[in-house]
Amino acid sequence: MRPNLLAISALFLAAVSPFACAQAPASVTTRLAAQNALFDDSWQASLKMSPLLATAVGDYRYNDQLGDYSLAASAARHQRDLTDLARIKAIDPSGFPEQDLISHDLFLRQLQERVNDYDLKDFEMPLSSSGGGGGIHANLADLPLSMPFDSVKHYEDYIARLHQIPKAFLQTEDVLRAGVNDHLVPVRFIAEKIPSQADGVITADPFLLPLKKFPASFSEANKKRLTDEITSTVNQEVFPAYKQFAAFVTTDYIPHCRTTLSINSLGGGTRRYQSALRRFTTTDLTAAQIHEIGLKEVARITGEMAALAKANGYKDLASFRDHVENDPKYQPTSADTIVEDFRKYIAQMQPHLPELFNLLPKTAVTVEPIPPFQAAAATHYQGGTPDGKRPGRVSVAVSDPTHRSFINDEAVAYHEGVPGHHLQISIQQSLTDLPEFRKHGGNSAYTEGWGLYAEELGKEIGFYQDPGSDYGRLRSELFRAVRLVLDTGIHDMGWSRDQVVEYMRSSHAVDEPTIQAETDRYISGPGQACSYKLGQLKIRELRERAKQQLGTKFDLKTFHDEILSGGALPLDVLDARVSRWIKAQLPAVASN
């Protein structure tokens, strides 16, 4: 944190000068400068405290550092939050331009929520963020795929990080012990997956991947030196650290893990789950309200599926579903066929993006299978760098491929690739009039809401020509509605794992491998699954509002640009922004 000498001087003068109180308030320009300085200070501190974040956004100053995983690091981040919160509260935003005012409110809101929730100590459960194997063991295994390897220095940075992995695991063990002492632990059967996942990393050995892609400019001497150093570090330090961590989890952690599923069983009444819902949905909706929205959406979408069945000549949804779900043409024969299916749909959409948007992504996107050591993870997107040198990645779930289905592929390809996450995140990174924390931050309600909304855009372009794929589009949306029911069912209504699995099976929203992985995901990471549908419903609502109020002057491309050009906003802030945009156009509309 760099000291703000001007601010310190101003405080000193205010304290000693009898005329200070009579002075005019600082000008808008001065207050904006103070706010921008705070944003920059805070962002630079975030990069320094989180070197992997810095790498992810293309800042390689800390590329040889892994970061601090200790309890002390969490406490230091909290103290930084308190300091920044006091600084932003001291800045009067009156008179600020719209984007600067939004930035002020977002910064304050994010800090206030983190400060308010610090005493919940969720950081003491670092393995519970994802039922698909979230945690340090999975995240570190992604290093070879998320770092640059275009210079000898970058390889040396990688080696430096490999050397720090044993310390990171030991720090994480200390955090887990603190969680045990505070009775903040994940569900036992979730924790029981960790040791085998760690063993899977050792078996897959992803840490040697950089040795297979040396730049042609490297000398043979450098290739040999780097190969020897990486190989010895992995075998002598990294793998023993993984084995030690797996043993610790097995012996010292799993026995203390809980058997109750609801996050509220960890104490604090309903506050813990409500906090998660607020963080992920950016709303104040209660669990009961979200559950009811889910039930209504499940009924509505199921009705649309029934109409699609009849339009295709079937007597009812059951017979249509039976045909589609058992037709061999929708059944993959290998992992490669699934990956190629995703590539086909993303390539199909790319040339049509100008029909929907003025703002377009400049960063490329690749499609790849999720590696075996992360097999339980769902299909997901990982952003590229703002300079476009590292493309965005759609990582596709391919485990147990012959028990999966092609049915949802088209919708999910649009969701994760374009016009979904890749388009939205790439555009956000390239916005020039936003502070860095808004270019690279956001919330799940907006990003996942946009992804689900983007699935529908393929229909507007004229895709989903295959009845099974169109069924898959509705099935994908149904899946997100089902999540509202299940997440709240688990964490607010006391549902068992068997109840969750049975509800998902009866909905026919996903295949069996996905049912098992997703059930554990909802148990392990409460709240996040509710963000998709609520975000999509808000974007739909805003689009309909704009169409009704602007009439023939409504332009879809301009509407999309308005949604995207402010970055990932909380749903209430997005609502207010779009409302201002509509209002600004109304005089022009009225005069025509």
Q: Which residue ranges make up each domain of the chain?
A: 29-266, 273-535, 548-591
Residue 527 has pLDDT above 90, yes or no: yes
What pLDDT is stored for residue 129 in this prediction?
43
Residue 342 has pLDDT above 90, yes or no: yes
What pLDDT is stored for residue 514 in this prediction?
83
Report yes or no: 184 and 124 within 8 Å, Cβ to Cβ: yes
What pLDDT is stored for residue 18 in this prediction?
39
What pLDDT is stored for residue 17 in this prediction?
38
Residue 7 has pLDDT above 70, yes or no: no
What pLDDT is stored for residue 517 in this prediction?
84
Q: Residue 49: exposed, middle, or buried by beta-carbon count in 10 A (0-12, 13-18, 19+)?
A: middle
Average pLDDT score over residue span 255-270:
93
Q: Look at the alpha carbons of 389, 392, 397, 402 in this order and tell me if their dihedral is positive or negative.
A: negative
Q: pLDDT grade, residue 173 (50/70/90)? A: very high
Tens of pLDDT, residues 535-562: 999 999 999 999 999 999 999 999 999 9
What is the Cα–Cα distance from 29 to 472, expressed in whole angstroms?
A: 52
Residue 4 has pLDDT above 60, yes or no: no
Answer whether 0.95 is exceeded by the pTM.
no
- Encoded tokens for 389: 């040198």
What pLDDT is stored for residue 52 in this prediction?
97
Neighbours of 40 (CB within 10 A): 14
Report yes or no: 104 and 96 within 8 Å, Cβ to Cβ: yes
| Range with the poorest average pLDDT among 19-33, 118-132, 179-193, 323-337 | 19-33
Nearest to 142 by CA among 340, 445, 363, 383: 383
Computed over its alpha carbons, how large is the radius of gyration of the chain? 25
Residue 53 has pLDDT above 70, yes or no: yes
What pLDDT is stored for residue 378 in this prediction?
85
Report yes or no: 44 and 54 within 8 Å, Cβ to Cβ: no
What pLDDT is stored for residue 377 in this prediction?
82
What size, in residues, is the chain? 592
Tens of pLDDT, residues 458-473: 999 999 999 999 999 9
Residue 8 has pLDDT above 70, yes or no: no
User: What is the rounded average pLDDT for all residues in the chain?
Assistant: 93
| Range with the poorest average pLDDT among 6-20, 103-117, 559-573 | 6-20
- Give counts: helices (H), strands (E), the chain: 26, 3
Q: pLDDT grade, residue 22 (50/70/90)? A: very low
Strands (E), 344-410: 365-369, 380-382, 392-396
Task: Tell which wins on pLDDT, 374 or 235.
Answer: 235
What is the Cα–Cα distance from 51 to 557, expressed in whole angstroms?
A: 37
Task: Indicate the DSSP class of residue 27.
Answer: P
Report yes or no: 385 and 392 within 8 Å, Cβ to Cβ: no
What pLDDT is stored for residue 546 in this prediction?
98
The vertex-363 CA angle with 358 and 365, nearest 5°, equals: 110
| Those residues with Cβ within 8 angstroms of residue 522's Cβ, 6 or more apart along the chain or in another chain | 131, 483, 486, 487, 490, 500, 529
Task: Report percent pLDDT > 70 for the chain.
Answer: 94
